[in-house]
């Protein structure tokens, strides 16, 4: 089996990376940074986002697993002290693969150019200078005109990240859906929005159309992009899936409780 490792690049993560390389190679696994079959992310959930985008071109051939060297995460769920146990399980191929849905983002420009992105957590749109004004269409029909700081479109697995901070719902990561959440919308007697997050199933789509010819900032997970001359932005549940190597049960709602409720 071929493997690669993505490190957060702090001292502890780098030391763990070198140790993991030694252990895995001792068991006969081959390091391959170009075409790995399994990718170890050592750091936090942000490190795994970097690993995902590094190998997003071969999602059907690679599985991810995370070791956290900081706070317990939703993607990085192995402890450094469990490295030997993890390596042994990888070497014996004692794992299953679970697939989570991704978000596809298509940016269409007035000059007919277009760009397509995949997001593991979310995509956001904000105006750097003025209020963001966007017409929102759901399945080809006008739904509302949004005015406010911005919009966040998240995957189910990303619903516990920025989406939750904005007041969005937490969605189980196996559900094939995506979520649209507002950032500080303007609501008064003149301007109205629904004000709640919208959870859309996989067979639906959402299109944002800029009302003004304005520049705005877009993020695709940790990647920041300045967008100009945009005609529309389409969001769908992507055909691609991300695969995670599961070596033991992953009680999602227990992880939610431990992350946001428990004081221990």
pLDDT band at 218 (very low <50, low <70, confident <90, very high): very high
Q: Are residues 48 and 107 in the same domain?
A: no
pLDDT at 262: 85
Picking from 133, 77, 104, the residue whose alpha carbon sits closest to that of residue 240 is 104
Same domain, 183 and 86: no
- Sorted by sequence, the CB contacts under 8 Å of residue 61 that are 6+ apart come out as 35, 37
Please indicate, yes or no, whether residues 255 and 231 belong to a single structural domain of this protein: no
Do 53 and 89 have their domain in common?
Answer: yes
Q: Is the per-residue pLDDT at 25 higher than 80?
A: yes
DSSP character for 80?
G
Position 46 pLDDT exceeds 80: yes
Tokens 């970097």 appear where? 50
Number of domains composing the chain: 2
Please give the residue range of the domain that contains residue 174. 102-239
Average pLDDT over residues 224-228: 95
Q: What percent of the chain has pLDDT over 90?
A: 89
Q: d(Cα 207, Cα 112) in Å, to the nearest integer?
A: 16
Report CA dihedral (40, 44, 50, 53) to the nearest 10 degrees: 70
| CATH number of the CATH domain containing 131 | 2.60.200.30
Nearest-angstrom CA–CA distance, 221 and 160:
13
Residue 100's pLDDT band (cuts 50, 70, 90): very high
Is the domain of 149 the same as that of 29? no
Distance CA 155, CA 143 (A): 21
For residue 30, CA distances in Å to 15, 27, 51 come to 19, 9, 18
Q: Which CATH number covers residue 75?
A: 3.40.50.10330
Asked whether residue 78 falls in the same domain as residue 108, the answer is: no
The verdict on 128 and 228 lying in the same domain is yes
Instruction: Indicate whether 166 and 64 sit together in one domain.
Output: no
> pTM of the predicted model, to two decimals?
0.95
Are the beta carbons of 145 and 133 closer than 8 angstroms?
yes
Verify that 77 and 122 share a domain, yes or no: no
- Report the C-alpha gap between 19 and 42 in whole angstroms: 11
| Average pLDDT in the chain | 95
CB atoms within 10 A of CB 165: 11
The band of 212, judged by pLDDT with boundaries at 50, 70 and 90, is: confident
* Residue 59 shares a structural domain with residue 43: yes
Q: Residue 132: its pLDDT value, please?
A: 94
| Whole-number pLDDT of residue 71 | 79
The closest alpha carbon to 14, from 47, 37, 46, 50, belongs to 47
131 in the same domain as 49: no
Active-site residue numbers?
45
Q: Are residues 15 and 79 in the same domain?
A: yes
- Give the model confidence (pLDDT) of 138-182 as tens digits: 999 999 999 999 999 999 999 999 999 999 999 999 999 999 999
């Amino acid at each position: 089996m071929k493997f690669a490792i993505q490190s957060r690049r702090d001292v502890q993560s780098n030391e763990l990376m070198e140790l993991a390389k030694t252990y895995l190679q001792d068991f006969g696994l081959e390091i391959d940074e170009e075409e790995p079959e399994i990718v170890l992310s050592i750091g936090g959930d942000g490190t795994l986002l970097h690993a995902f985008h590094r190998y997003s071109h071969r999602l059907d051939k690679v599985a991810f697993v995370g070791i956290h060297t900081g706070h317990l995460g939703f993607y990085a769920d192995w402890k450094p002290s469990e490295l030997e146990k993890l390596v042994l399980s990888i070497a014996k191929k004692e794992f299953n693969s679970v697939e989570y849905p991704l978000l596809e983002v298509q940016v269409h420009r007035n000059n007919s150019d277009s760009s397509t992105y995949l997001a593991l957590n979310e995509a956001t749109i904000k105006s750097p200078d003025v209020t963001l004004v966007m017409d929102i269409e759901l399945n080809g029909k006008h739904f509302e005109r949004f005015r406010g700081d911005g919009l966040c479109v998240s995957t189910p697995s990303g619903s516990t990240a920025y989406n939750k901070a904005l007041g969005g719902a937490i969605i189980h990561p196996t559900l094939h859906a995506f979520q649209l959440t507002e950032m500080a919308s303007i609501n008064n007697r003149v301007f109205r929005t629904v004000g709640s997050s919208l959870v859309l199933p996989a067979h639906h789509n959402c299109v944002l159309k800029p009302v003004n010819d304005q520049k705005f900032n877009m993020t695709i997970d940790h990647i920041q992009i300045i967008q100009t001359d945009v005609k529309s932005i389409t969001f769908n549940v992507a055909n691609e899936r991300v695969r995670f190597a599961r070596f033991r049960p992953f009680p999602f709602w227990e992880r939610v409780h431990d992350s946001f409720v428990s004081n221990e």
